[in-house]
Structure 1
């Protein structure tokens, strides 16, 4: 896990971040603000998806902040290319787009986070730390839209998934993940340890044969595994 890496002086290694956005003022401002965040190091910035992919391949960042609407290569295309070039890199989409289709494509392309540009610098920095720690994070408003979309998709037909058995506790954890809560918040809510939460999430992903927390929530809503109103 990224958070345990330490420098030769015993201090935690900073999270290496690449910022990719075609709006120069926004990109430069974000870079300056992140440079003041403890434990975060901006290792580069790029103005389009093609340059961002190339820079990611050479800089090997821990986290990449990507806009969606960019010239030469879109954020979604860049997300796929960066994940192929640097599989360990975590991608956060940072955009003005609140379209469900963009969120869905971002998740399918391997993004670990999805934030709107009206997020505060504290929220962006927290998202960087969360995804660097192996978790997923999306804006609460987008989480609601995503769940609503999958509820609509699941209504025409309800399929039973034979052999799929999540325990009551795993379903509890999945419901809280669907609300956008991180491991620490889930542990506090259920009065269990963070390690126990991590084990539950790992078991859920293995049972659903999925690769990320967001994919698990999407699948669970589609297959009616969550008791959502």
Structure 2
């Protein structure tokens, strides 16, 4: 009987730990991964039923918000489980969403599609793919721009001296990151322009980068300055 009791207590304890992931202040909450682009609003909610979440604002433009949503789902395109979650999210009729998830043996934690369990695997769904933001940035995002050549001088405490990158405004943010990481001997970094994080698949020209100063911030908190 003691063994059964201990097992029962273990199961309860494990479930309680999973439930805590719904707390937006919990460091394990998936939304913390996207905190540079999305700000959750405590005690204010949007959506109904299983799609109810905290409200949030974003420093992304509407176009960038669409892009980052597509980027999220593209990163999970090879997962049948994530594609089923996406299908459930697309249903206006909640009973159909429940049907899709239950047939695939998903268990909703606290009746929220933000947190699901299947075959001992936990699936955390970021709020930004469930509901729309209450506020989007009005910063411009240029879709049509003329191709031009840029010379970028990069400065960092990780580098022995400044170096210059010759590129085009059609280069993607990811391509610029790879050049920086190779020279700085780092594994990852995030790039910012006027407090706005630049998204990997976007091009320099999307941000109207042609002159001025851009700050490139490494994850290790070193700051790289690039003068165009």
Range class of TM-score, shorter chain: under 0.3
Q: Which is strand-richer, 1 or 2?
A: 2
Q: Which is helix-richer, 1 or 2?
A: 1
TM-score, normalization: structure 2? 0.26
The structure with the largest alpha-carbon Rg is: 2
